[in-house]
Amino acid sequence: MTVLPYLVAAWIFLVGVYGLATSRDLVHAVGCLAVAQSSTYVLLLSVGYRHGGTAPVFSDVKPGVTVVDPVVQALALTDVVVGATVTALLLALVVQTAKRFGTTDPDELFALRG
Amino acid sequence: MNGWLAAAALLLIAGVGPSLWNAARGAPGRRVVAQNYATLLLCLVFLLLAQGYGRPAYVDLALVLSVLGPAGTLVFARLLLTGEEAGEGGEPPGTRRLTPVVAVGTAATVLPLCVVTGPGRATVKLLVIGALLLAGGVATTRAVRHG
Amino acid sequence: MADPAVDDVLIVASLLFVAAAATAAVLNRDPARQAVVLSLLGLGLAVLFTVLQAPDVGLSQLGVGSALTPLMILLTVRKVRRQRERRDGERHGGKRRG
């Protein structure tokens, strides 16, 4: 049971990378990258979890209760927002690529070949 | 045995699990309705979790979802069910059942929570969330049906 | 205050839901349909964060993943499709409306 979060994080990462590698459409590939990024959120928050702890938000509880680790929550928060920004940027690049090459199939994009 | 958390777990497994199954397969109409169900049921799950953990601060999640959930469904209905992907004929399965399910679920969740919370600002917040859920259910059903 | 057994059930259920949603998001190859599953993945992640006692991260995830990312993906799909239609229209001779 205690190892399940890490297994799930590893599974999500592998599934995302598999989708990225076997993708036939650049927009689908961006979605798979978002999936792979979500594995890091799961990993970070699983590392910080404490049994019996509660959220480190002290607006409605008194300080002194057992809380889960707030540092990894800050990291995960940054991760979520940066992930959304990266997705937006990549989608803009996909639109430009489609305009330039007329296709979104990564196998047909030959201009990057050496 | 914490009844609120057990109810949340039950709603999660029995309500949102099948929504994922329906959202992953089939025609676009079925998927949009499944996503609609998922957002509305998940809002109720958040309310139950807030009560189960004894943290009134978690109700904000339900408030945000009650606004963003139907908005997301309207986006999907506009971009998936009209234009290029249209041509369904008939309304997607489960559309007719959505408003009654939302009404019953919201009443069954919000009213006991209001009773437990007692009068005050928190109860007003819960009632606002319930009203937003009902309005969202009606608006999205209309959008899906006329899409 | 909270029963540890039900806590564990909630955590396991959310983890399995997220894993299933991630798998479904990858296996749906059409980007427009993948966007719906990605919305569900975002919701599942929000529940997981709440159950792991991180509501502020859950709030951000709700804001970003339930409406914003799928909206961006659907708009991209629409734009690419319009570009392709315009290009096909020009290739088949003469201007086409739309």
- SS3 breakdown of chain B: % helix, strand, coil, rounded to 5? 85, 0, 15
Report whether pLDDT(C2) > 60. no
pLDDT in tens, A5-14: 999 999 999 9
B55 near A CB under 8 A: yes
State the pTM of this model.
0.91
Report whether pLDDT(B135) > 60. yes
Domains in chain A (CATH in brackets) are: 4-108 (1.10.287.3510)
Report whether pLDDT(C75) > 70. yes
**Of B8, B24, B58, which is closest to C37 when you measure between CB atoms?**
B24
Closest CA–CA distance from residue C97 to any residue of chain A (Å): 19
Q: List alpha helices for C1-98, DSSP H.
A: 4-27, 31-51, 55-63, 69-91
Which of B55, B79, B125 to mutate to test binding with chain A, by most A CBs within 10 Å of its CB? Answer: B55
Which of C33, C57, C68, C73 to mutate to test binding with chain B, by most B CBs within 10 Å of its CB? Answer: C33
pLDDT in tens, A61-94: 888 888 899 999 999 999 999 999 999 999 999 9
Query: What residues have CB less than 8 Å from A101, skipping those under 6 apart?
Result: A108, A109, A111
Residues in C closer than 8 angstroms to B49, CB to CB, are 10, 50-51
Give Cα A74 distance to the centre of its chain.
Answer: 15
In our burial notation (b when 16+ CB lie closer than 10 A, e otherwise), range A3-18 reads: eebeebbebbbebbbb
Residues in B closer than 8 angstroms to A59, CB to CB, are 57
pLDDT, position B106 = 84
Chain C residue nearest residue B52, CA to CA: C2
User: B28 pLDDT band (50/70/90 cuts)?
Assistant: confident
Question: CA quadruple A52, B110, B121, B138: dihedral positive or negative?
Answer: positive
A 10 A CB-CB count for B113 gives 22
The arithmetic mean of pLDDT across residues C66-95, rounded, is 85
% pLDDT > 90, chain B: 22
- Across the interface, whether the CB atoms of A55 and B56 are under 8 A apart is answered no
Query: Strand, helix or coil at C97?
Result: coil
Which residues of chain B from 57 to 116 reach within 8 Å of chain A, CB to CB?
57-58
The arithmetic mean of pLDDT across residues A36-42, rounded, is 95
Of residues B17, B16, B3, B96, the one with CA closest to residue B54: B3
* Segments making up each domain of chain B, as ranges: 3-145
Number of cross-chain residue pairs from A and C with Cβ atoms under 8 Å apart: 133
Place of tokens 């315009």: C86
Closest CA–CA distance from residue B9 to any residue of chain C (Å): 6
